[in-house]
Amino acid sequence: MKDNNQFYVIKSIKMMTYLIRAGFDLYRVIDDDKNSHYKVFLFNDSDELRSAMFKYNN
């Protein structure tokens, strides 16, 4: 996978699980820049991803 893609950072494990179950691929899990005790989840940013996130939040 190319590293020049734009990524959307997810901080919620519940949102991450929802997106994976909705068919989105998790790109990478990294330490949070602001608090290394937490992880963040990177997904390839797309209109479809944002639409799924909107549906989750409403």
- Residue ranges of domains in the chain: 7-57
Which tens digits make up the pLDDT trace of 1-58?
Answer: 444 579 999 999 999 999 999 999 999 999 999 999 999 999 999 999 999 999 999 9
pLDDT of residue 38: 95
pLDDT of residue 5: 74
Helix and strand numbers (H, E) in the chain are: 2, 3
Residue 41, class by beta-carbon neighbours within 10 Å (0-12 exposed, 13-18 middle, 19+ buried)? buried
| Local structure of residue 38 (DSSP, 8 states) | S
Pairwise CA distance, residues 41 & 10, whole Å: 5
Q: What is the maximal distance between C-alpha atoms in the chain?
A: 32
